[in-house]
């Protein structure tokens, strides 16, 4: 099927096509201008590595030497380990359930931007149906980060001076509208309209073919009317040429038809002891001897 044939089919069912197009454009316009919108607020935290006392400081200060320094993440050679663990903990289901219980948005993401120096960055983006909801959700995520960061490092009872700390460097002061969400919704509506358009045209074609098939079946099953049969019987036969070879003198079947309408009289003639019927006008042409004897009739 070529594009030209598709366009011809669409134009033949232009009523269905125009109806679906108008509904699709109306739905896309409503989604773009009046549908619920989404806003995003983000916050960035940096995990600061604690300053470990030197050997000389611990000699001069016995309290430093007595403090518990058993922080498993501080002993790790990978400085990004603590950020990866925090990103995993913030993406857990218990955080999502706590946000839902507080009436906040469960739609958020946690990413790890490029880091430099002794700290590691964690970026949290929250999406909500209003700017205030997005900002409140981002702040709640920061609080969850601080609490989980401390709990993860206190597994061995490490002293606070040996713990990583979360420092907020970009607070969620403003939420921006997500234009891409409206655009995605409009694209979905347009795609649905195209599918609905071809579906409506296919249904219209099916109904048209069904009506045509029923009409053909009814025409084949319809008996020939009495008036048509009478017209066929009384139809004038074709003209035949006359003796001079000119057409229009009459029809060949006309004399035969007139002759056939006259009743014929038959008489019995005996030829070789075999009676047979002869028309009355042929019997009159016989001689008296031929009529009364068994002499064969030669014609």
Pairwise CA distance, residues 196 & 11, whole Å: 16
Q: Which CATH class is domain 38-177?
A: alpha beta
Give the pLDDT band of residue 102 (cuts 50, 70, 90): very high
Pairwise CA distance, residues 91 & 100, whole Å: 14
Question: What are 130-186's pLDDT values in tens digits?
Answer: 999 999 999 999 999 999 999 999 988 888 889 999 999 999 988 888 877 778 888
Q: Are 169 and 122 in contact (CB under 8 A)?
A: no
Q: Are 37 and 181 in contact (CB under 8 A)?
A: yes
> Is the per-residue pLDDT at 209 higher than 60?
yes
Stretch 228-245: mean pLDDT: 55
All structural domains of the chain with their residue ranges: 7-35+183-204, 38-177, 263-294
Q: Mean pLDDT highest for which of 5-9, 111-115, 131-135, 213-217?
A: 131-135
Pairwise CA distance, residues 99 & 104, whole Å: 5
pLDDT for residue 18: 86
Question: What are 190-208's pLDDT values in tens digits?
Answer: 898 888 888 888 888 888 7
Question: What are 264-295's pLDDT values in tens digits?
Answer: 554 444 444 444 455 555 555 555 555 555 55
Coil, strand or helix at 34? helix
Q: At what angle do helices 131-153 and 81-90 cross, to 10 degrees?
A: 130
Pairwise CA distance, residues 219 & 234, whole Å: 24
pLDDT for residue 293: 56
Pairwise CA distance, residues 179 & 40, whole Å: 10
Lowest mean pLDDT among 7-16, 109-118, 230-239, 272-281: 272-281
Stretch 71-81: mean pLDDT: 84
pLDDT for residue 217: 80
Tokens standing for residue 143: 């609080």
Mean pLDDT of the chain: 77
Question: What are 38-48's pLDDT values in tens digits?
Answer: 899 999 999 98
pLDDT for residue 120: 83
Stretch 58-86: mean pLDDT: 85
pLDDT for residue 270: 45
Lowest mean pLDDT among 6-20, 48-62, 98-112, 225-239: 225-239
């Amino acid at each position: 099927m070529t594009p030209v044939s598709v366009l011809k089919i669409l134009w033949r069912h232009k009523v269905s096509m125009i109806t679906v197009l108008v509904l699709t454009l109306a739905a896309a316009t409503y989604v773009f201008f009046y549908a619920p919108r989404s806003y995003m607020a983000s916050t960035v935290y940096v995990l600061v590595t604690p300053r470990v006392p030197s050997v000389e400081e611990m000699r001069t200060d016995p309290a430093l030497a007595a403090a518990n320094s058993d922080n498993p993440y501080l002993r790790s050679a990978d400085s990004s380990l603590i950020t990866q663990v925090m990103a995993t903990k913030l993406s857990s289901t218990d955080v999502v359930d706590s946000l839902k219980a507080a009436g906040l948005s469960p739609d958020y993401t946690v990413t790890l931007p490029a880091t430099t120096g002794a700290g590691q960055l964690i970026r949290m983006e929250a999406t909500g149906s209003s700017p205030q909801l997005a900002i409140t959700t981002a702040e709640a995520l920061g609080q969850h980060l601080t609490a989980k960061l401390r709990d993860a490092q206190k597994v061995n009872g490490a002293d606070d001076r040996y713990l990583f700390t979360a420092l907020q460097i970009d607070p969620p002061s403003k939420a921006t509208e997500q234009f891409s969400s409206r655009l995605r919704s409009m694209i979905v509506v347009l795609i649905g309209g195209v599918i609905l358009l071809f579906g409506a045209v296919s249904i219209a074609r099916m109904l048209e073919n069904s009506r045509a098939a029923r009409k053909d079946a009814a025409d084949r099953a319809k008996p020939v009317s009495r008036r048509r049969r009478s017209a066929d019987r009384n139809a004038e036969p074709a003209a035949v040429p006359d003796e001079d070879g000119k057409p229009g003198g009459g029809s060949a079947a006309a004399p035969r038809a007139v002759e056939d309408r006259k009743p014929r009289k038959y008489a019995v003639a005996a030829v070789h002891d075999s009676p047979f019927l002869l028309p009355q006008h042929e019997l009159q042409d016989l001689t008296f001897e031929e009529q009364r004897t068994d002499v064969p009739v030669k014609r």
